[in-house]
């Protein structure tokens, strides 16, 4: 795994467990690829604070 944070041959777009650099035990996550990106980005904020999305392209998305 030298030079990568996690193995690059993992399945995409579904939950999986894998070893990741810096963690002593396996971690869980979803790997998104450029060929099939996430539908929405990451929500920033919470209840009663409104919503700002950070899209997978790095741009600001939906906001309230």
Return the CA Rg of the chain: 15
Q: What is the pLDDT of residue 39?
A: 75
The full set of domain ranges for the chain reads: 1-31, 36-64
Reading phi first (left if > 0) and then psi (alpha if -120 to 50, else beta), residue 58 is in left
Q: Are strands 42-44 and 15-18 parallel, antiparallel or unpaired?
A: unpaired
Pair 25, 18: CB distance under 8 Å:
no
pTM for this predicted structure? 0.58
**Running along the chain, 64 residues long, what does each successive block of 10 average in pLDDT?**
83 93 94 81 66 79 77
Q: Can you name the residues that pair with 43 across neighbouring β-strands? A: 53
């Amino acid at each position: 795994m030298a030079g990568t944070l996690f193995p690059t041959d993992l399945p995409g777009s579904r939950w999986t467990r894998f070893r990741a650099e810096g963690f002593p035990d396996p971690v869980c996550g979803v790997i998104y690829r450029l060929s099939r990106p996430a539908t929405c980005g990451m929500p920033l904020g919470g209840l009663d604070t409104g919503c700002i999305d950070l899209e997978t392209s790095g741009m600001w998305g939906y906001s309230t």
